Amino acid sequence: MSNYWNSFVQKLDPYVPGEQPKDKKYVKLNTNENPYPPSVNVTAAIKDAANSQLRLYPDPSCDELRKKIAGHFGLEADQVFIGNGSDEVLAFSFMTFFSRENPVAFADITYSFYKVYANLCSLSPKIIPLHDDFTLPVGAFCEPNGGAVIPNPNAPTGRVLPVASIQQILDAHPDRVVIIDEAYIDFGGKSAVPLIKDYPNLLIVRTLSKYSALAGIRVGFALGQKDLINGLNTVKNSFNSYTIDRLALAGAVAAIDDDGYSKKMAQKIMVTREQTIEQLRKMRFHVIPSQANFIFASHTEVNAELIFHALRDRGVLVRYFKQPRISNYLRITIGTDEEMDQLIRALTDILSS
Amino acid sequence: MSNYWNSFVQKLDPYVPGEQPKDKKYVKLNTNENPYPPSVNVTAAIKDAANSQLRLYPDPSCDELRKKIAGHFGLEADQVFIGNGSDEVLAFSFMTFFSRENPVAFADITYSFYKVYANLCSLSPKIIPLHDDFTLPVGAFCEPNGGAVIPNPNAPTGRVLPVASIQQILDAHPDRVVIIDEAYIDFGGKSAVPLIKDYPNLLIVRTLSKYSALAGIRVGFALGQKDLINGLNTVKNSFNSYTIDRLALAGAVAAIDDDGYSKKMAQKIMVTREQTIEQLRKMRFHVIPSQANFIFASHTEVNAELIFHALRDRGVLVRYFKQPRISNYLRITIGTDEEMDQLIRALTDILSS
């Protein structure tokens, strides 16, 4: 707190990201990063872009990348907005589409940055509790609200929402923007992108961080009808003209081009996920069905916070949220088979002691 | 305009950056980029960082880079804030330190993004007219205001403000934040950084875009006492945890390390600037004294807008602002000697026709 900060900043409660440890090497299963490296074409494209042209500003409208993404999804370039990670895209979306008068709706158990954005935009959100099994109460999301934001699959639960349910929510709010945050959609879920042509109120947010293994270059994007994309551009261009650097642009274009590689890695991760779920269930974990690159699990006897610390002591980082309803759960990113073996060994050790 | 945008966005009037042309190759003197490439150590460091680690998030607190910058300026790491270009740093600064109740002050002729930020934050700024010769009316800036933002040297004029005048303004507003935007300070101006230890209300904003020839990687930073830096972190972490990617971080560290190279290039640019000013004056241009990597010039007979278009037709891009008081001026970035020769040849051609 400070006399120099305005009253707005005094009230902010920032997001705390998962730990990026510097003290030693961990099996890092805490921030949903992809365990496999990005495509070699991506690193080659970046090396190629590391040249004297770095003295020049990047293209502020990211034309080449927008065209590439549009082509990939069967959309037009003016239906694509690029941001500095999907977090920036979400921040701009909150600034553009939601208002104090009509509270935006999101679930009680969801990506915890949403309530930080709401705070940043001085909005009082309408918090809708998930069902006991962490499925989304579609009916409650269809009641009047000022728009909604729903991750699909949900984080940190991993539960997927059928496209038909999304359609139901979109139909209920023709005048409000419904954001579907598809950060984890490529690990087995079904995308709502085909609905864009029929729903001017649908905005889909994506990221290259997970599926394309590029958390390190910060590229996210939004897909929607032109009118929504224009709104995002208006806010972005009132904030920062050049949000994506030349290197990230080059890498992102190469990543979209080599989607086949990302798909192959995602399939490996999905196989590992199902094996890990099976192993955890044998160890008496209750595991929520997941279509993401992470799982959400609770042991039937041993406290999650205790396991979290014991895993950390054994060099395995997972994510623990000290929050109502989920304080006995661990969110575990799917790593390589070997990393998951290390997790299982550490858990065996912890549970037998 | 759209039914989906909130009322706030309907009123925004975004910044329009200088053109990044794609149609053909120009002598590009319109966006104050450095004509020389960045240090080879920078491109080498980026190539080196283009590896499998890109799958991992970058360090959200940019510790290594903050330490490096702090060391360079004789400050502590917690006196440094890193942003995605100085534009993002400025946007966060407006969000953190200024309020609707106390209008922030800036000059009528200055970096035109300031009024866009004011609009973004729903502030009504106090606009202070520069003197007729474009010097800053220090007295007017010392009258009560809710803080101030002053580029030094000013853009687009290139005029420098003595550190003693900055101190006078800081003394007048002990309870308000005064931002000195030093984007162009390294081309002959004197920095206000040594004032930081005595002035808790001083925030200095810098960029690697100009002096370090790295407009393409988007790194800016703020220097100030810990309390101001904490405020910026609070807003940044309510917006986007990971604003700087791994590649930009690696490049920025290398750029600070090889400051000697940037200094040498800046000296070359300053020599070229003085030669160009001399030539333009011989051609009957009125040129404002500049301590920046650009000059602001007005021909005594021929209209600036006409020259702007005629230069463009001849493959030379400069910046023209259709604004009161400066609509007969051109802002010309200092390029290489050869680029300035091309400018002079084109101008000779235009003025003789």
Q: What is the mean pLDDT of chain B?
A: 96
Q: How far apart are CA A186 and CA B353, in angstroms?
A: 62
Neighbours of B344 (CB within 10 A): 17
Q: How confident is the model at residue A255 (pLDDT cuts 50, 70, 90)?
A: very high
Summarize pLDDT for B282-298 with one digit per residue, the tens.
999 999 999 999 999 99
pLDDT of residue B54: 98
Q: How far apart are CA A235 and CA B14, in angstroms?
A: 7
Q: How far apart are CA B294 and CA B282, in angstroms?
A: 18
CATH 3.40.640.10 spans which residues of chain A?
Answer: 40-258
> What SS3 class is residue B306?
helix
Please indicate if any CB of chain A lies within 8 Å of the CB of B250.
no
Q: How far apart are CA A50 and CA A28, in angstroms?
A: 29
Chain B residue at shortest CA distance from A227:
B2
Are B55 and A37 a contacting pair at CB < 8 A? yes
Q: How confident is the model at residue A278 (pLDDT cuts 50, 70, 90)?
A: very high
Please indicate if any CB of chain A lies within 8 Å of the CB of B142.
no
Contacts for B141-144: CB closer than 8 Å, 24+ residues apart = B141/B105, B141/B169, B141/B172, B142/B168, B142/B169, B142/B172, B142/B173, B143/B172
Q: What is the arithmetic mean of pLDDT over B122-143?
A: 97
pLDDT of residue A19: 80
Query: How far does the CA of residue A37 sit from the closest CA of chain B (Å)?
Result: 5
Nearest to B238 among A15, A57, A176 (CB): A15
Q: How confident is the model at residue B8 (pLDDT cuts 50, 70, 90)?
A: confident
Provide the percentage of residues in chain B whose pLDDT is more than 90.
94
Range with lowest mean pLDDT among A14-23, A135-144, A227-236: A14-23
Phi/psi of residue B108, each to 5°? -70, -35
Summarize pLDDT for A294-319 with one digit per residue, the tens.
999 999 999 999 999 999 999 999 99
Please indicate if any CB of chain A lies within 8 Å of the CB of B215.
yes
Summarize pLDDT for B141-163 with one digit per residue, the tens.
999 999 999 999 999 999 999 99
CA angle B35, B39, B44 (to 5 degrees): 130
Which residue intervals of chain A are DSSP H helices? Answer: 7-10, 40-49, 63-73, 86-97, 113-120, 138-142, 163-172, 226-236, 246-257, 259-282, 304-313, 337-352
Summarize pLDDT for B164-187 with one digit per residue, the tens.
999 999 999 999 999 999 999 999
Neighbours of B25 (CB within 10 A): 7
Chain A residue at shortest CA distance from B52:
A37
Q: How far apart are CA A95 and CA B12, in angstroms?
A: 12
Tell me how far CA of residue B219 lies from CA of A65, A114, A262, B183, in angstroms: 21, 26, 29, 11
Q: How confident is the model at residue B22 (pLDDT cuts 50, 70, 90)?
A: confident
Are A8 and B99 a contacting pair at CB < 8 A? yes
Please indicate if any CB of chain B lies within 8 Å of the CB of A112.
no
Q: Residues 229-248, chain A: which have Cβ within 8 Å of B?
A: 230-231, 233-248
Q: How confident is the model at residue B1 (pLDDT cuts 50, 70, 90)?
A: low
CATH 3.90.1150.10 spans which residues of chain B?
Answer: 7-37+260-352
Sort strands A126-128 and A105-107 into parallel, antiparallel or unpaired: parallel
State ipTM. Answer: 0.96
pLDDT of residue A1: 65
pLDDT of residue A102: 87
- Domain A40-258, CATH among 1.10.510.10, 3.30.2290.10, 3.40.640.10, 3.30.1330.10: 3.40.640.10
> What SS3 class is residue B135?
coil
Q: How confident is the model at residue A25 (pLDDT cuts 50, 70, 90)?
A: confident
In chain B, residues with a C-beta closer than 8 Å to the C-beta of A62 are: none
Neighbours of B16 (CB within 10 A): 12
Summarize pLDDT for A152-161 with one digit per residue, the tens.
999 999 999 9
> Could you tell me the fold of the domain covering B40-259?
Aspartate Aminotransferase; domain 2 (3.40.640)
Is residue A289 reached through a cis peptide bond, with omega within 30 degrees of 0 on the bond before it?
Answer: no
Are A46 and B43 a contacting pair at CB < 8 A? no
Are B6 and A46 a contacting pair at CB < 8 A? no
Does the pLDDT at position A23 exceed 70?
Answer: yes
Amino acid letter for position A250: A
CATH superfamily, domain at B7-37+260-352: Aspartate Aminotransferase, domain 1 (3.90.1150.10)
In chain A, residues with a C-beta closer than 8 Å to the C-beta of B246 are: 216-217
Q: What is the arithmetic mean of pLDDT over B259-286?
A: 98
Q: What is the mean pLDDT of chain A?
A: 96
